[in-house]
Amino acid sequence: MQGILYALVPMFAWGSLGLASNKIGGNANQQTFGVTLGALLFATVTYLIVKPTLTLDYWIFGILGGLLWAMGQNGQFSAMQYMGVSVANPLSGGSQLVIGSLIGAFVFGEWAKPIQFILGSIALVSLVVGFYFSSKTDPDKSVDTSVNYDMKKGFIALAYSTFGYVAYTVLFNNIMHFEPLAAIFPMSIGMVLGAAAFMRFKLSFEPVVLKNALVGLQWSLGNIFMLFAASTAGLAIAFSFSQLGAIIGIIGGIIFLGEKKTAKEMRWVYIGIACFLVGAILLGVVKSY
């Protein structure tokens, strides 16, 4: 029970990250830079408390992982502004799950048993169906001229976001196998450098950036509790629960950010949520074998 309670923290912390940042405001570059400042502060305090030994590998690949994470997060923030949080959040989380799972299964041999391929395939199909329904637009919907959505730019942003996030995840989970509490400090430096690069190193510390640093602390809190959940309840529970944060992004975007949906679109949203639940839980089950 304790492990499940731990797993709920990253679910809510990461699932509501886009909501919090978009409520604060700023463009994608300002949001990303602010989040990384908060993550750097958290990682620095953790480093001073834990005092881990950092080898050259930790510095090189930790910073590289941070750069990839910054690419993923900047693309996700951009997609949210182009498509809306309730659409971009599940598409981002779901695409990471699908591509990451396929790489794990076919490149790193994580699916070794027939039952894993069966359940994994059902999970991926459920996620793809969830993609479709969560982003489906009612053709009879009147155009809201107050919102400048651009789905083409949104999908481009999602493409490089997914690449950054999946590459970062594969690097840390499948290739290097770092001690997480040791890796977060060099990673946070890479995150700040990556965010600064998106700003072409013309850094600003205006209020909207500093407020987004609070979102970085929120992300870091979710990251720590993800580690607690994995050690207490196992990676399968921690993994499946954390990925359900996409549902919070869907609901929160509609309720708290006022993203409008027709009655028909709301029915599709419910179908999409159900599919994401099935897909994420089944992937967690697959990882438990």
What integer pLDDT is reported at residue 10 of this predicted model? 84
Decide if pLDDT at 84 tops 70.
yes
Decide if pLDDT at 235 tops 70.
no
Decide if pLDDT at 25 tops 60.
yes
How would residue 192 be classed by pLDDT, with cut points 50, 70 and 90?
very high
How would residue 193 be classed by pLDDT, with cut points 50, 70 and 90?
very high
Mean predicted confidence (pLDDT) in 69-73: 96
The pLDDT tens digits for 96-123 are 888 888 888 888 888 889 999 999 999 9
Is residue 259 helix, strand or coil?
Answer: coil
Mean pLDDT score across all residues of the chain? 87
* Angle at 73 (CA atoms; ends 68, 75), nearest 5 degrees: 95
Length of the chain, please? 289
Question: Which has the minimum average pLDDT: 77-91, 165-179, 205-219?
Answer: 165-179
For the chain, percent helix, then strand, then coil, each to nearest 5?
80, 0, 20
Task: Give the C-alpha separation, 219 to 84, whole Å.
Answer: 20
Decide if pLDDT at 147 tops 80.
no
Question: Which has the minimum average pLDDT: 68-72, 87-91, 148-152?
Answer: 148-152
Decide if pLDDT at 170 tops 70.
yes
Buried b (16+ CB within 10 A) or exposed e, 53-84: ebeeebbebbbbbbbbbbbbbbbbbbbbbbbb
The pLDDT tens digits for 264-284 are 889 999 999 899 889 888 887
Question: Which has the minimum average pLDDT: 71-80, 81-90, 192-201?
Answer: 81-90
The pLDDT tens digits for 202-230 are 888 999 999 999 999 999 998 888 777 76
Q: How far is CA 256 from CA 16, 19, 86, 161, 211, in A?
A: 10, 8, 10, 24, 18
